[in-house]
Chains A and B, each alone.
Chain A
Amino acid sequence: MSASAAPAVEFRAVTKRYGAVVAVDSVSFTIDKGAMVTLLGPSGCGKTTTLRLIAGLEIASEGTILIDGTDVTQRPPTARDVSMVFQSYALFPHMSVLRNVAYGLVAGGQARSQADRAVREALDMIGLAGLEDRLPSELSGGQQQRVAVARAIVLHPAVLLFDEPLSNLDARLRRRVRDEIRDLQQRLGLTAVYVTHDQTEALAVSDRIIVMDQARIAQQGSPRDLYREPASRFIAGFVGEANVVDANLLRRDEVGAVVSLGDIELRLPHRGLTQGPVQIAIRPEAIHIDAGQPATPVLPGRIVRALFLGDHMEYTIETAAGALFVVDHDVDRPRASGTDVHISFRLSGLAVLPRL
């Protein structure tokens, strides 16, 4: 191992081009050891290409990639200390579970008996003991997924890569497997990079999220930071849901700013913005209906749509600031469409954004 202080993965201005198309555009980031970092973004944003650049399945057009402090930019996948869990799992259909999981160890030159012992340990740990001799086609989707994970972790890679590992599972299984992956990663202290387009998944498993959009990094930070302080309208809409409405920043001081929204004025952190037109991202659950808290300003509005969704209500409320989408967990007092209401805001669920 080289200098232990080095981050597990470092990208320095990495660009990947296919002809005229730029798939990854001058991207820089670091991933600390033992962290689970998610690459999140809409399809075609370059997140999977970034993952494949780490794996060495693509070679960067420009820039430098370091793994454990070593420059691996030009190295093939076989000479990088990473392993990957594929979206399709990519289990070798003609090999048993045992041979699949032992594949990397044997290819790396280990004796079969030694490899088999390590494989049995890994299968034990992941809850697949007893299935060694099955073929992948004889396993359920969840089991196949775990074999794919076992095959990757048995190599004890410096970085473990996940390419949308849950997308082939049904919704119920998805949450369980997601939590298993997170537990395993924390238990073994693995460094992991996880690609997904599902923001809930990203919020649930990550120490840190890197949001990508149009081949660039849009924002990176902890799940909480991204949710509470989105840097742009795109982030506000992509990480969680948000109403983005136009507003005016009237005046600011060291701590905060006074922003006018419709007829009311709100005091919010200024986040470096100056006087003038801005936007505010309002989380749907940060809007209270008829809460009757006299201290905060209220905005009058009318409910134009009301939906019952079991554990919560969804309303669309027409206001002077525009139509707002509201999530209300009070299902015992549903409000009918057409009702006039007064809304107030939980200010921690609001963030000012630059107006574009």
Chain B
Amino acid sequence: MQPLRPDRPTAIWPILGWVAFLLLPWNGDDPGFFAFAWIGQYGTVAGAPALIQGVALGRPWLLLLALPLLLAMPAAIGASSRRRGGSWLVAAGSLGLALLLVLALSIDLRGWTWQLPAEWFGPLPRRNAGFGAGAWIYGLAALMMVCCGLAARGACGGDTTVTCGLGLVVAVISLFVFYPLVRLGLSAVQTPRGVFAPELLWQRLIDPRIWSWRGIVPTTILLGLASAASSTLLAFAFALVTERSTLPMRRVLRTLSILPIITPPFVVGLAVILLMGRNGAVNRLLEWAFAIEPSRWIYGFQGVWFAQTLSFTPIAYLVLVGVVQGINPALEEAAQTLKASRARVFATITLPLALPGIANAFLIGFIESLADFGNPLLLGGDTEVLATSIYFAIVGARQDRGVAAVLGMILLAAMLTVFLIQRSMLANKAFVTIAGKGQTGIAAPLPGFVRVAAAGIALPWAALTIVIYAMILFGGFVENWGLNHAVTLRHYAGAFGLEWGPAGLRLKGQAWDSLLTTLRLALIAAPLTALIGLVTAYLLERQRFAGRRTFEVGTLIAGAVPGTVLGIAYILAFNNPPLELVQTGAIVVLSFIVRNMGPGVRAGSAGLAQIDRSLEEASITLRAGTMATLRLIVVPLMRPAIIAGLVYGFVTAMTTVSAVIFLVSPGIMLSTVYIVNLAEAGTYGMAIAYASVLIVLMLSVILGIEALVGERQIGRRDASVVAQGAA
């Protein structure tokens, strides 16, 4: 007989807790943990672990933190029964978390927040550091102790992997989505100095700047409707041309659909400026031909609309291509045999069957437009939408966090509403006519006028898209757009120049810093993003536990928070001790992870749906625990989905701008923000040069991975995944 190995509460978490308590710096310092400056300051508050601070540096309250770890020891070494040990671990872990919470609430930047400890322990210095590596890891250890303990007590079928995974995801969502959103909500009812003033909420909410005709909200909604309508119409024409016509350009059109995945959305706006801005080619042409004075007519509502239509049409196309393919030709054949003309077949069969898909594409376009930040920032002129107005309320002359918070909540509410409408529509899956069986039959040819109209709309627009991308790729080689069209490498040299110096190769160009920082943070974020997406998907798809429904709703909301809202919420939540993360790389990585959580979970669920559940059950009845089953069966079988998730996480981290524009600092500058700054300063040449490098880099990453994996996963990703990640 095989030996049976019931899993015991593990000792690793209490040990990690001890490491955090005894060895790691309790407080955060400005250079960051990985700068290891804290080693040199081990004897001071800046670098000392909790133990030394408690014994020698006059902070005896920190010694209390050893108590939960002592409590956990008997259980961890297996001195008591599994169930009893579990109870001890739960108690110890909860106590540890409670102590951390009390600490967090008791000390802020300016010292004690309440009287009693100040009397007991004396005053604190005027500047207090936030939690450092020691505190964060202590918290993680305490949380995991609770999870292991709950599993030992029989929660989730006694499965430690499940309770720990659940605990981790819940902690991430609570701390890095819902806590910041709560802080955002609180800011809306506080004065800029943090005094509670509920009447301010009303004042801020009824501001005519927000609601009047031409105000922020009507403009945002109008822009969303306009962009969604135009991109859906164009995309439907594209889909009809590529799927239902015999035009030879179909492959080219399909290739265009991959471009938005690798293009930071605002780069399209940048190209539009080069093409139609005051010194753009179009204005020059008009001046030369008709002597029309060049003007800034592109800036404003119409310019943003134009750029958004360019950006979102490929996304809507990915949705609609699936819809058009999904229409069973047998239905159209049936209509034809019932004596319907081509026009009648199109009007009574094809179009009605595609309608729910068209509605879905429209809503996705609307969501994209709501969340888009880069295009309105570059092209908006005096026109403000919600996303940009939040930004200007934080960085502008009228800086008011309360106003930003109110605007953020309006945007969040709008986003969630549309998101819920879209989800409930998708849940009905009304537009799927594929029944899992092979489809036979030949799709009905389009009626003549539809064919002409579709081609007439799609082809010029495709040409325009190609011109725009050509602009992006070659614009960086031109001296000064509109004024001096001499070919030059000046912009590339300025951005990415290299120099051989006495110390070897030196990165002289001014863009290197931000590019390398972005690469580094994106490479850290990608595996974490994929991991948390996979774990969440696994919990949702394969596990039954109390509160599963709540958990699902939580992850959905987390996946729907627009970048700008997340950015402002992070500033409000993580700017001060004890959770002081602003100006670190960690907060940028966290924003990447949270922003990609929705697509990550959806990709993970889709991957899991491909794996027969009995494979995991077989593994478990063969004595492999959940962890081993994940490692040996699930992960290898999901490899393509995981790789696609990694690439997607990496690419979106490299191209996002909306959240991180709030989170960058002189030390942590990111490519996208740097490009936006260049463009705002009018340095279009270098901005476009940098953007083209970014696009080529993304493209080579995708193509390289495709070649390496040998599977064409990335381009064919399901469109709703793509749709949530942009902006």
Interface residues of A (CB under 8 A from B): 1, 55-57, 59, 74-84, 86-88, 90-94, 103-105, 107-110, 151, 155-158, 161
Contact = CB atoms under 8 A, between A and B. Distances in A.
Contact of A81 (B4, B158, B614, B624): B4
A56 B619 CA distance: 13
Contact of B615 (A55, A78, A92, A108): A92
Nearest to B629: A107
15 contacts: A1-B1, A59-B157, A74-B154, A77-B621, A78-B4, A83-B622, A84-B621, A86-B618, A87-B614, A90-B612, A90-B617, A92-B618, A103-B619, A107-B628, A157-B1
B109 to A, nearest CB: 48
A94 B635 CA distance: 11
A94 B637 contact: yes
B2 A90 contact: no
A83 B628 CA distance: 17
Contacts of A155: 2, 622-623
Contact of B2 (A56, A84, A104): A104
A76 B614 contact: no
Contacts of B628: 107
Contact of B622 (A87, A88, A151, A158): A151
Contacts of A104: 2, 622-624
Interface in B594-626: 612, 614-615, 617-625
A93 B623 contact: no
Contact of A92 (B4, B158, B619, B625): B619
Interface residues of B, number: 28
B249 to A, nearest CB: 39
A268 to B, nearest CB: 46
A157 B6 CA distance: 16
B159 interface: yes
Contacts of B438: none
Contact of A88 (B3, B614, B621, B632): B614
B633 A92 contact: yes
B5 interface: yes
A94 B610 CA distance: 14
B4 A156 contact: no
Contacts of B2: 81, 104-105, 108, 110, 155-157
B31 interface: no
A91 B3 CA distance: 23
B547 to A, nearest CB: 15
Contacts of B621: 55-57, 77, 82-84, 161
B636 interface: yes
Contacts of B157: 59, 76
Given A79-B5, A109-B5, A90 B158 contact: no
Given A59-B157, A92-B633, A108 B623 contact: yes
A79 B622 CA distance: 10
B4 A79 contact: yes
A162 B654 CA distance: 51
Given A86-B614, A108-B2, A108-B5, A78 B620 contact: yes
A204 B664 CA distance: 73
A94 B636 contact: yes
Nearest to B544: A18
Contact of B620 (A77, A94, A161): A77
Contacts of A92: 615, 618-619, 632-633
A79 B617 CA distance: 14
A91 B620 CA distance: 13
Contacts of B624: 78, 103-104, 107
Contacts, number: 96
A90 B623 contact: no
Contact of B5 (A78, A83, A156): A78
Most A CB within 10 A of own CB, among B4, B159, B637 = B4
A109 B7 CA distance: 13
Contacts of A87: 614
A157 B14 CA distance: 36
Most buried by A among B154, B617, B621: B621
A75 B621 CA distance: 12
Nearest to A75: B6
B620 A90 contact: no
A55 B15 CA distance: 35
Contacts of B7: 78
B1 A81 contact: yes
Given A104-B2, A108-B2, A86 B623 contact: no
A185 B399 CA distance: 80
Contacts of A78: 4-7, 620, 623-625
B607 to A, nearest CB: 14
In the complex, the 9 A-B pairs of residues with the closest C-beta atoms, listed nearest first: A104-B622, A90-B618, A107-B624, A90-B614, A108-B2, A79-B6, A84-B621, A77-B620, A108-B623
Contacts of A105: 2
Interface string B472-516: 000000000000000000000000000000000000000000000
B70 to A, nearest CB: 30
Contacts of B633: 92
User: Which of B158, B619, B622 has its CB near the most chain A CB atoms (within 10 A)?
Assistant: B622
B523 to A, nearest CB: 27
A185 to B, nearest CB: 18
A176 to B, nearest CB: 24
A108 B632 CA distance: 14
A195 B365 CA distance: 51
A90 B617 CA distance: 8
B157 to A, nearest CB: 6
Contacts of B620: 57, 76-78
Interface string B155-173: 0011100000000000000
A79 B614 CA distance: 18
Contact of B3 (A55, A86, A109, A157): A109
Contacts of B612: 88, 90
B636 A107 contact: no
Contact of B158 (A74, A109, A151): A74
Given A77-B620, A78-B620, A83-B622, A158 B615 contact: no
Most buried by A among B2, B3, B7: B2
- Identify the interface centre among A59, A78, A157: most chain B CB within 10 Å of its CB: A78
Contact of A107 (B1, B623, B637): B623
A79 B615 CA distance: 18
B619 to A, nearest CB: 7
Contacts of A77: 617, 620-621
B618 A108 contact: no
Contacts of A80: 4
B610 to A, nearest CB: 11
B623 to A, nearest CB: 5
A190 B708 CA distance: 48
A59 B3 CA distance: 22
A215 to B, nearest CB: 20
Nearest to A18: B544
Nearest to B159: A76
Contacts of A161: 621
A81 B625 CA distance: 14
Nearest to A104: B622
Contacts of B618: 84, 86, 90-92, 151
Given A57-B621, A103-B624, 15 more contacts: A55-B617, A76-B158, A76-B159, A77-B617, A77-B620, A78-B4, A78-B624, A81-B1, A82-B621, A90-B618, A94-B637, A105-B2, A107-B623, A151-B622, A155-B2
A1 B619 CA distance: 24
A90 B612 CA distance: 8
A111 to B, nearest CB: 13
A107 B154 CA distance: 22
A57 B614 CA distance: 10
Most buried by A among B158, B615, B620, B623: B623
A353 B465 CA distance: 81
Contacts of B615: 90, 92-93
A105 B619 CA distance: 11
